[in-house]
A and B are shown apart, each in its own frame.
Chain A
Amino acid sequence: MTLSRRSILTAAAASALTVPALPRLAHAQSAAIKIGVLNDQSGPYTNTGGATSVICAKQAVQEFATAQGLSVEVISADHQNKPDLAVSIVRQWFDRDGVDMLLDVPTSSVALAVQSVVREKNKVYLNSGAASSALTGEQCSPNFIHWTYDTFMLAKSTGGAMVKAGGTSWYFLTADYAFGKQLQSDTSDLVKAAGGTVAGASQYPFPGTTDFSSFLVQAQASKAKVIGLANAGGDTVNSIKQINEFGINKTMKVAALLMFVTDVHALGLDVAAGLNLTESFYWDLNDKTRAFTNRVKDKTPKNWPNMVHAGCYSATLHYLKTVHDMGAAEAKKDGVATISRMKAMPVEDDCFGKTTIREDGRNLTPAYLFEVKKPSESKGPWDYFKQVVHTPGEAAYRPLADGHCSLVKA
């Protein structure tokens, strides 16, 4: 059969008519405050952030702004873990779309890349998804708050517990970009300070690596006691699966340095049972976290909130409280002033309880070390964790003086 140009055009026109108009392309009415959620919606961090982050931000808007008569619009975009794409989206958001607050932004390389744009445009940047502790260290900014967790806190909580339990020699499997390197170096420092040794490390290209077998063989050959996974999201899930397939978990202990409840859900308890991991939020911690989860879980039944999602809720809520307190017009005008007001106001919400924000932009959330339950111990859907250690926020993070943030006066 030969296709004539006319028939192709007719078919194309007909199909174009049947495609429903893309709803999100429609321009909404201008709102008083505009929040832009920028995260990974198609790659390895889709479940750890993705649509659930947007839902949690909208939940905060619904709970607070609607009651106060503040009109708030939430928009979102997929940065595909590419720093250059993120920079161009964020520029456009600030210049054209009137976005006032940038939220979530996982993937440390992207998070660091947009930091300077936010500062240049004097907007507000609340990061929940990225881990690199450099964000509140040498790369800190007066327009920025790091909300939920960071590499130092993970290293201290998970790494510290592993060393204490006898895991004194480490081999790292590291995602080769800002986050992985930072997590590896933070954990190495901690292991060495506790008297342990680092046998070696394999750095793999990110994103795009799905086969970790050659790196795992190297790890096994190193004869280290612990294999430290300095990666996140889908990469962690894939590497743990392959560690199980190779039987490496029988000779080495696995330290998943950044793992979320959503990753455990993806792995299944059969594979994940017994792993130690650190989060600053878990849905079943107390009555308030359960109440929060009950409010949002129907909107995202397949992906219950993890700490990044809870952080998006908490950060949005506190931002809106601050905006309400200082007036929307004032808040839109000056990002630095909004951030300093946010640091001064006490933070309290259902997810993290009461926290304080340090002058370097670090929100001091508590750190919980969890152990993943065995399948027999799990009583219901998403019942995955046993709490092992609780570190209060003041002790969980890097001491203020060690970060070398220029905002901190010595």
Chain B
Amino acid sequence: MFGFSRPQWIAFLVMVALIVVSPFVLYPVFLMRVLCAALFACAFNLMLGYVGLLSFGHAAFFGMGSYVTAWTMKFWHLDAFFAMALGGLTGAALGLVLGYLAIRRSGIYFAMITLALAQMVYFFCLEAPFTGGEDGIQQVPRGHLFGFIDLSNDMTMYWVVAAVFLGGFLMIHRIIHSPFGQVLKGIRENEPRATSLGYRTDDYKLIAFVLSCGLSGLAGGTKALVFGIATLTDVHYSTSGEVVLTTLLGGLGTVFGPAMGALIVMSMENYLAQAGAWVTVIQGGIFMLCVLAFRRGVIGEIANWRKLTL
């Protein structure tokens, strides 16, 4: 099932074990933040790692997902399940529109087009009345899941977030190891050859983009629910940059890399928060170190060292 190889099974079981054990040791709200960032990074990795397209505007999908979830929770009093699902669908729908325009180019042009479109989304969010501008949508209730699971308890919320993350993770893994995923990797390696084999590569790229954006929106919506707030930070281009950093740090094009990257980046932000402005300097330093010395990222280096596919 899911197309896991033996080392991947082991790594997956280790990850699940960590997810189950860690809330009893660490602060659950922090772990939820890590899981949301991990899902976002996994979704981003689907584009960068497996299609080879660097999107510099993924914050737009993450942020719109978080706004829509927050808004529907607060004003429509939807069930948490539908609110998160709507967040994901919003990301996917926006991804369809923006992706339709962006996938016509690749490389630096693709990155610039996605960045420009994401900035348009940012200014839309800044000015649109429903987002609350600079204040964001505040005091969002966590509400109930399926009508009877009360999410106001941190531990309950944690299990829901963990389930969302694992669901998204398995979905991405399934996509990558499906025939569809093989075509994506083919496009990444040599697009003209894929075209010559009769694949309509634009359609494949667009579908992958929409899937990636939908999962990003889901991650954003989940985050909004956890913290009860959706703000401009979520759509800001620095969030787009952070997800690139997360993915590269963990290991580009590996299944487990982005989750590992999210753990590292979020831990730095969290435990170094007292160091004020130094956080970004330290992040920058680690990023440079990683690019210079560990180009495959943490998981990528381990995989390369043990000759495994992780």
Contacts and interface: CB of A to CB of B under 8 A. Distances in A.
A195 interface: no
A83 B229 contact: yes
A266 interface: no
Interface string B259-295: 0000000000011111111000000000001001110
A111 to B, nearest CB: 10
Contact residues on A (Cβ < 8 Å of other chain), bracket: 20 to 34
B126 interface: yes
Interface in A66-98: 77-78, 82-85, 87-89, 91-92, 95-96
Contacts of A41: 276-277
Interface stretch (A4-12, A56-64, A219-227, A346-354): A4-12
Given A84-B227, A88-B33, A78 B276 contact: yes
A116 interface: yes
Chain B: interface size category = 20 to 34
The CB with the most chain A CB atoms within 10 A, among B126, B231, B233, is that of: B231
Nearest to A108: B135
A399 interface: no
A384 B294 CA distance: 56
Residue among B229, B234, B272 with the most chain A CB within 10 A? B229
Contact of A8 (B227, B233, B270, B289): B289
A206 B234 contact: no
Contacts of A95: 27, 29, 154
Contacts of B133: 176-177
Interface string B1-39: 000000000000000000000000001011001000000
A368 B114 CA distance: 52
B228 interface: yes
B138 A91 contact: no
B135 A8 contact: no
A76 B263 CA distance: 24
B156 interface: no
B135 A178 contact: yes
A26 to B, nearest CB: 10
A83 B135 contact: yes
A17 interface: no
Contacts of B154: 95
B139 interface: yes
B186 interface: no
A250 interface: no
B276 A42 contact: yes
A178 B27 contact: no
A379 interface: no
Nearest to A110: B135
Given A42-B277, A82-B231, A88 B29 contact: yes
Contact of A178 (B134, B229, B270): B134
Contact of A82 (B228, B233, B293): B233
A48 interface: no
Contacts of A83: 135-136, 138, 229, 231
A3 B293 CA distance: 9
Contact of A96 (B27, B227, B275, B276): B27
A28 interface: no
A177 B228 CA distance: 19
12 contacts: A3-B292, A8-B289, A12-B289, A42-B276, A78-B273, A82-B231, A84-B230, A95-B27, A109-B134, A113-B136, A113-B138, A178-B134
Interface of A: 3, 5, 8-9, 12, 22, 24-25, 41-42, 77-78, 82-85, 87-89, 91-92, 95-96, 109, 112-113, 116, 176-178, 205-206
Given A113-B229, A177-B133, 7 more contacts: A78-B277, A82-B233, A92-B29, A112-B135, A113-B135, A116-B139, A176-B126
